[in-house]
Structure 1
């Protein structure tokens, strides 16, 4: 598990890694937002599909939290086109699909939050959960960048105040209609926040 020295400070810091696929503007904004909450961050500037596959297959070096900042397509991650020298065998029409992720991911104990649109659909969630992660959080429809920022701010603020993972997700996902699109995948089931602001099981 990634364990920076900051986690051993007198005022211990929460460590969060960010994988930025494509345009890094959102990822850098997320990084600034989290650092304002006194979180220590590690930014992975993803250049190729293989870079990302290395990030999600770290095994013992896995971070406690990994935020994937990307654009999405029906549960897949959009990478786009590359020059001939780059290996794109993991992509289909420029998109990394859930089956590829399911085969590569090894992040034992990590909480993965995916900002890509439609990244919370069942196929994607189940693919990430194959990597022995603790939990997977993502919206199953398109959400705005503002919603993403608000969700992350509320989630990590509550985590830093001592809330449990489920409590922090429930609080962050109950802010408004778009926030309620963020699904929580755990090993015992898939959850959403209902109109009453409470956790509801979708499938388990």
Structure 2
């Protein structure tokens, strides 16, 4: 698990309408081989995920919409429970949690496309 810090070059001047746009993330993301979990609204969108995936992250999980704050907290709690207590792999934990109800199904996972052998 990596809890990193933002680069000093990223500050509130990079925000647009209170959010960090994917193109700014793409300029600074450098987390090869990591899985990104975000509870920020729309952070499960293809644009947000691509900002990390195109810079080496292997998976991005986030809501493809606007989760209620309580649902976001519950999602994180359940994710760590499924990973740490139940020993499930990330993809299985995500699918289990998404099956609980439509509010938790808002959280989706996106992965980098697999490269063909020799490609």
Bucket of the pairwise TM-score, normalised by the shorter protein: 0.7 to 0.9
1:185 to 110, 114, 119: 110
More helix by share: 2
Q: TM-score, normalised by structure 1?
A: 0.49
Gaps of 5+ in 2: 115-119
More strand by share: 1
Task: Spell out, residue by residue over 1:173-193, the C-alpha distance to the aligned partner (whole angstroms, 9 max, x if none).
Answer: 22211111111011138xxxx
Judged with a 3 Å threshold, the aligned counterparts in structure 2 of structure 1 residues 165 and 52 are, in CA distance, closer, same or farther, namely same
Q: Distance in 2 between matches of 1:16 and 1:177?
A: 29
Corresponding position: 1:129 with 2:83: no
RMSD after superposition: 2.4
Residue in 1 aligned with 2:37? 113
Residue in 1 aligned with 2:117? none
1:164 to 89, 99, 114: 89
Gaps of 5+ in 1: 1-14, 18-43, 45-50, 57-78, 81-87, 190-204
Aligned-pair CA distance for 1:16: 5.3
Corresponding position: 1:53 with 2:15: no
Q: Distance in 1 between matches of 2:34 and 2:52?
A: 10
Aligned-pair CA distance for 1:93: 4.9
Greater length-normalized contact order (CA 8 Å, ≥ 6 residues apart): 2
Question: Computing the radius of gyration over CA atoms, which structure comes out larger, 1 or 2?
Answer: 1
Q: Distance in 1 between matches of 2:96 and 2:2?
A: 19
Q: Distance in 1 between matches of 2:56 and 2:80?
A: 22
After TM superposition, the structure 1 = structure 2 runs for residues 70-149 of structure 1, keeping only pairs within 5 Å, are 88=13, 90-149=14-73
After TM superposition, the structure 1 = structure 2 runs for residues 28-43 of structure 1, keeping only pairs within 5 Å, are none
